[in-house]
Amino acid sequence: MTSGSSHSTWPALTLAALGVVYGDIGTSVLYAVKEVFSLDGVTPEPANVLGVLSLIVWTLTVVVTLKYVTLVMRADNRGEGGLVALLTLAAESVRARPHWRGRLLALGIVGTGLFYGDGVITPAISVLSAVEGLAVVYPHAHRMVVPLTVGVLVVLFALQKRGTRSIGRWFGPVMLLWFAVLAVLGLVQIVQRPEILAALSPHHAWRMAWQQPALAFVLLGAVVLCVTGAEALYADMGHFGARPIRIAWLAVVMPALLLNYLGQGALLLAEPGAAHSPFFRLAPGWAQLPLVVLATVATVIASQALITGAFSVTRQVIQLGYLPRLRVWHTSVRETGQIYLPAVNWALLVAVVLAVVLFRSSDRLASAYGLAVTLVMLITTVLTFFVVRYRWGLPLPLCLAATALFGLIDVLFCASNALKLVDGGWFTLLIAAGLVLLMTTWQQGSAALHQQRQRESIGLRECWEAIAADPPVRVDGTAVFLTVEPDVAPAALLHNLKHNKVLHRHNLFVTVRYHELPWIGLDERVQAEPLGRGAWCVTVHFGFKNEPDLPKALELLRGRGIELDPMATSYFLSRDVVVPRAQAGGLALWRKMLFAQLHRSASPAAEFLHLPSNAVVELGSKIEI
């Protein structure tokens, strides 16, 4: 489903957005308040309860409503949102300042690595905190929490290859029910202890910060859990549009969350002993088991949305040139965005199960959570500054003031979460560092490979003129040669002439370009320049959200004197074998070896570009770097 779908009205899109966009932030109520009052020195006395709830209320208001809904969602990249879209938009905004552009790209890559760290913790803590509700209903069931959580996660990841279309239609209605239950549970408690409504005033948050600054600072590391998932508002904007996401937040999600958080605060005013599990204690005894089931379903939906997001982000990063090609399965014949990447899916499952088994409780997982989230929030703030200043042209004082406000909040949250580095924050940073290492190694290794190809290359026009001077036997049909650079003779052409000693009647030398834009329209998709004697130099353009279907793109050449018959067209590809050399400059040898391994494990270009398997000819060669 996309925002431009003619078959969808904004009410339908709003309902769908509830299921996809708000699963993560909507299930934060399971653990946010509990984690705050599990900290040393934070007792559920009235002053602390009012101060904590005031911090939560105003964190939701400032971070989500003001920063994301009001400001960041206006920075769309041709209708698309998310960190990758914002990164390319910011880099494009400072194109005239190359030094800034390089730094922003590096910052965005770090943010992408942190996204995957967040992607590991979110399913783990969400499902684990829901299943922990069983221990509230049946105290002796605590031994089953971790095995049941692992079982739910394994089933969830195993079902990914089936796609989300069949169950996705239920996401919106189930999450609407979830938010309705949150509101009702909270409202019942608020009616009994209406004094909790005083927490709506920022006065209590300021008083806690003034009277207990050290405690308030430590609290921020747990309070930030209430806004985990805020990035999804921006990331999924291209699927639903800004209006449905804003309506869903202001009309349904924010009121339900505020009522539930205030309800948990009211419960703590009445029963301080409920601090170990305030969410599930909101429900009467007869409703707690159904609430556990509903919470588990809601957390599975939240996890599903994040897993799907990981698939989409990975494909975008691949097309930007920071990861090797991976096998992509399309799970829907109607929606190109519904994809499944087996390698990403199983790697995520291993990491998520490792997190559950290693930390074993949502309390301990909360220590690992937050640092990656807040760093991504800070990176978003920095990138947004370059968009509003250099793309929108807003006055510098206004840009600096807005960035300073949101940046200060992000820095405070980051600093507070940094205190949890030893207790678990290292886990997400380790995952992020590993992904950043892979992405930078692939990008720099690809650049080194490209330079080596250039040194060993022959100009395409010179090569074609030499062939024309002493032409080989011509055979019927069309040959499509893929080449990295449009002015370089592809190695596959040279190997074909050397070994087969024939040339096709028609020859296309095709270069595929991926751009820092989400979409490239069909009118800009293909450019063709005649080389003479039945040959053309063709450039095909894809945005990072376009489906890279090369045969379909080449069909656009019809009417330009290039008629492709699928039954008489062959695709010639060069498959390089990378050989690392210690004496060469550039990357360290161990990174060259890592790049060589990544290059070998990359999905074949033929599969990535949707080339017909019975029409592909691969000719290999060795390249030393």
pLDDT tens across 107-139, in order?
A: 989 999 998 888 898 899 889 999 988 888 888
Instruction: Locate 563 and state its tokens.
Output: 């008629």
- Specify the range with the lowest mean pLDDT, choosing from 48-62, 253-267, 299-313, 394-408: 299-313
Distance, in Å, from the CA atom of 208 to the CA atom of 352, rounded to the nearest integer, reads 36
- Cβ atoms within 10 Å, residue 575: 14
DSSP calls for 111-178: HHHHHHHHHHHHHHHHHHHHHTHHHHHSGGGGGGHHHHHHHHHHHHHHGGGG-SHHHHTTHHHHHHHH
Greatest Cα pair distance, the chain, in angstroms, is 94
| Mean of pLDDT values over 12-33 | 88
3-state secondary structure of 338: coil
Distance, in Å, from the CA atom of 245 to the CA atom of 230, rounded to the nearest integer, reads 11
Could you tell me the end-to-end alpha-carbon distance of the chain, in angstroms, rounded to an integer? Answer: 44
| Residue 431 to residues 105, 351, 475, Cα–Cα distance (Å) | 19, 9, 53
Q: What angle do CA 537, 92, 313 make, to 5 degrees?
A: 85
| Mean of pLDDT values over 16-34 | 90
The length of the chain is 625
Residue 621 has pLDDT above 90, yes or no: no
| Mean of pLDDT values over 393-414 | 94
Secondary structure letter of residue 459 according to DSSP: B
Q: Which residues contact 469 (CB under 8 A, 6 or more apart)?
A: none
Query: Domains of the chain: which residue ranges?
Result: 10-443, 459-624
pLDDT band at 333 (very low <50, low <70, confident <90, very high): low
Distance, in Å, from the CA atom of 595 to the CA atom of 439, rounded to the nearest integer, reads 10
| 542: phi then psi, degrees, rounded to nearest 5 | -130, 140
Q: What is the pLDDT of residue 434?
A: 94
Tell which wins on pLDDT, 113 or 4.
Answer: 113
| Percent share of the chain, pLDDT over 70 | 96
- Cβ atoms within 10 Å, residue 135: 18
Distance, in Å, from the CA atom of 446 to the CA atom of 320, rounded to the nearest integer, reads 12
CATH entry 1.20.1740.10 includes domain 10-443: yes
Q: Per-residue pLDDT tens for 78-88?
A: 777 888 888 88
Phi-psi sector, 99: left (phi>0), alpha (psi -120 to 50), beta: alpha
Distance, in Å, from the CA atom of 258 to the CA atom of 260, rounded to the nearest integer, reads 5
Residue 285 has pLDDT above 80, yes or no: yes
Residue 157 has pLDDT above 80, yes or no: yes
| 546: phi then psi, degrees, rounded to nearest 5 | -70, 150
Residue 2 has pLDDT above 50, yes or no: no
Distance, in Å, from the CA atom of 480 to the CA atom of 502, rounded to the nearest integer, reads 14
pLDDT band at 26 (very low <50, low <70, confident <90, very high): very high
- Containing 497, the helix (H) or strand (E) segment is helix 491-499
Residue 337 has pLDDT above 70, yes or no: no
For the chain, state the CA radius of gyration: 27
Contact assessment for residue 487 and residue 461, using Cβ atoms and an 8 Å cutoff: yes
- Specify the range with the lowest mean pLDDT, choosing from 311-325, 340-354, 407-421: 311-325
Q: What is the pLDDT of residue 336?
A: 53
Which stretch, 194-198, 500-504, 582-586, has highest mean pLDDT? 194-198
Contact assessment for residue 73 and residue 234, using Cβ atoms and an 8 Å cutoff: yes
Residue 151 has pLDDT above 50, yes or no: yes
Instruction: Locate 116 and state its tokens.
Output: 């995957």
Instruction: Locate 249 and state its tokens.
Output: 């937040």
pLDDT band at 583 (very low <50, low <70, confident <90, very high): confident
Q: What is the pLDDT of residue 365?
A: 87
- Cβ atoms within 10 Å, residue 550: 20
| Residue 78 to residues 68, 318, 548, Cα–Cα distance (Å) | 17, 20, 18
Contact assessment for residue 188 and residue 260, using Cβ atoms and an 8 Å cutoff: no
Tell me which residue of 314, 349, 351, 350 sits closest to 329, measured CA to CA: 314
pLDDT band at 29 (very low <50, low <70, confident <90, very high): very high
Cα torsion angle, 90, 91, 93, 98, sign: positive
Contact assessment for residue 568 and residue 478, using Cβ atoms and an 8 Å cutoff: yes
The residue to which tokens 């290059």 are assigned:
599
Beta 502-515 vs 473-482: how paired, if at all? Answer: parallel
Secondary structure letter of residue 610 according to DSSP: T
